Amino acid sequence: MRKGHGIFLGLLFLVPLLSFSCNKKQVAPQPQFTVSSAQVVFESEGSSSNVSITSNGNWTATSNSSTIWFTISQASGGSGNVTLKLTASANNTGAGREAIVTIKASNGDATQIEVSQPDNQNLLAKFAMVSPKLFTNNGNPLLDFMFTADPTAIEYNGRVYVYTTNDQQQYDTVGPGGKNNYGYIRTLVMMSSADMVNWTYHGVINTAKLAPYTYASWAPSIESRMETDGKTHFYMYYSNSGTATAMLTSTSPVGPWKDPLGKNIVDTKTPGVDVDNPFDPGVLIDGQGTGWLVFGAGAEKTPYLPDNARIFKLGPDMISLAGSISKIPAPYFNEASDLNFINGTWVYSYCTNWDARNVWPYSNIAKPSAACISYMTSKAPLDSNSWQYGDNYFRNPGENVGDNVGPLTNNHSHLFTFQGKWYFAYHAMYLQNYFNTTGGFRNVGIEEASVNTANGVNIPMINATFKGPSQTQLLNPFVLQQAETTAGTSGHVKFDTAGIVGNMVAKGQIDKQVLMVRGADFSKQIPSKFEARVKGTGQIDVYVNSLAGPALVSLKCDVKNWTTLSQQITQKIPNGAGNIYFVFYGDGFLFDDWQFE
């Protein structure tokens, strides 16, 4: 090849290379990708915010929110200028919400947008119709977050302990549209109070586990006695459905409980029972330390004298019969036996039947109304002829002779003393409207009562109310208090066991819940700090006297193990007695106890 020709060919190859290099610089400018906002705040539900995206390539928009609480008008796009609209959905909880939106370009560049909505909930409006107790001074029903019935009570170490049938277990099984036929109830509820308005929920007694022969557990009755081992023993008798009476024992009012017999103490095979339904027991230890048990129900011999009420003396061990079973000739008897010993007199209370009062031999005593509570008295309870009819002293709550606390229902009661004063426990359908049900689910209430002993034993009429008893002493907020102690709640609050018998913890939810205690005493000390034992991810906002205005304390939690968190108080609160509201939320968040310092 000639030299000149080689140079010519080299130039031919070089020119295209130079041309390609020049063209590349002209058609490949730096990529453009911008997002107009780094933060979006929704002030209210339904509000929107625009975000501009400029890109000369493809892009995508994604959110890290596990729940869809806002929408993005467009999830992807190409080159050009695009305006995205972000819109907040309805906020049923009113709690603050946060998320991250990531805008990512096809070349790998990405921009994040912080999306949030502040807590802007009107708590007074949210909780306005959740309970008959939360924003009132009402004491009834005792627990407003679950259904309870058939109460019994006992005083111990400055507290009154109340035990009930667990109607909530039936409600949870059949739902608000179902009926309360009591068939799914196999637990008993425990609660206690030191002041008659703030009630500590101690959980349930699992009769199905403790006594597997228990078909259903209703209507407990309890007594206690100091025994030779130096311990107070608690003896609880309960209905094993309608077929028998079973019993449990414990050396603590909240358990653990045990079954000492492994069988019913009374059933239809027990000699002398002679009733179809030996259930609804009422236990008593009299002034001499002797135990007694009353029970009964079933087919009537006659409407006036059904001949179904029974009584017997318990053995010294409280788990055996000490003699034969005797009859109590209770007029228009139906069920719900209860027994007291007052100034040397045995006082037997019961629920009357629904029959017409066509027979009535007493001219000086009014006929008892249907399904009311009547009483009889005796000085020799095993002598059937010794029993004298007293009167009826509590009409069916559905008659609305006091407050309108619900429709007609069966009637079950217990007369007891606490701190030297008489009280009367019963049930009514207080909460059905709040739980959106008409299935017959009941709740326990308490009224102050009078028992006159000047001339025998006389019990004046008692009426059902929402108000209930007065607070006997103020609550001390400067000592450790349990989260499961409440005078009112947002209704559907949940509690869980805490690994200690009788201790429960409040469970957070996505939706806000509230617990309230009444009559906290701030007259002697103004708090400077609040602390609570908590676990999980959530928040507690503390208010005194009102849910309006800023919280006294906002305690935020994000820990895996039980931890006591605290926060200084900068606001001033009124000197005196007040109600404390704990607004808490967080799915999986647990709240055990609290106190001020």
Which residues make beta-bridge pairs with 294? 282, 311
| CA 462 from centroid of its chain's CA atoms | 27
Determine the Cα–Cα distance for residues 489 and 475; give it in Å rounded to an integer: 17
Catalytic (active site) residue 150: yes
Looking at residue 121, its pLDDT comes to 74
pLDDT at 549: 82
Say which of 223, 307, 335, 541 is annotated catalytic: 335
| pLDDT of 43 | 66
Positions of the chain with pLDDT under 70: 1-31, 43-45, 92-93, 120
Are the C-beta atoms of residues 163 and 156 closer than 8 Å to each other? no
Using alpha carbons, select from 210, 267, 211 the residue that is nearest to residue 243.
267
Q: In DSSP terms, which residues pair with 292 in a beta bridge?
A: 284, 313
The predicted pLDDT at position 388 comes to: 98
Are 192 and 152 a contacting pair, CB within 8 Å?
Answer: no
Which of 334, 383, 389, 337 has its CA nearest to residue 361? 389
Rounded to whole angstroms, the Cα distance separating 525 from 576 reads 9
Q: What is the pLDDT of residue 192?
A: 98
**Alpha carbon distance 244, 169 (integer Å):** 21
Which one-letter DSSP state was computed for residue 420?
A: T
- Tens of pLDDT, residues 218-250: 999 999 999 999 999 999 999 999 999 999 999
Prediction pTM value: 0.84
How does 118-149 read in b/e, with b if 16+ C-beta sit within 10 Å? ebebebeebbeebbbbbbebbbbbbbbbbbbb
Cα 429 from Cα 443, distance rounded (Å): 6
Catalytic annotation present for 597: no
- 82 beta partners: 53
Name the β-bridge partners of 226.
232
> What confidence tens digit (pLDDT) does each residue in 340-350 have?
999 999 999 99
Task: Tell me the residue length of the chain.
Answer: 597
Residue 436 Ramachandran class (φ > 0 left, ψ -120 to 50 alpha, else beta): left
Kindly name the residue from 119, 144, 150, 593 that is annotated as catalytic: 150
pLDDT of residue 498: 85
Q: Alpha-carbon distance 584 to 516, whole Å? A: 11
Q: Is 157 left (phi over 0), alpha (psi -120 to 50) or beta?
A: left
Question: By CB neighbour count within 10 A (0-12 exposed, 13-18 middle, 19+ buried), where does 555 fall?
Answer: buried
Query: Which residues in 314-372 belong to E strands, given as ranges?
Result: 326-328, 333-342, 345-352
Strands 282-285 vs 291-295: parallel, antiparallel or unpaired: antiparallel
What three-state secondary structure class fits 348? strand
Asked if 171 and 455 touch (Cβ cutoff 8 Å), the reply is no
Residue 288: predicted pLDDT = 94
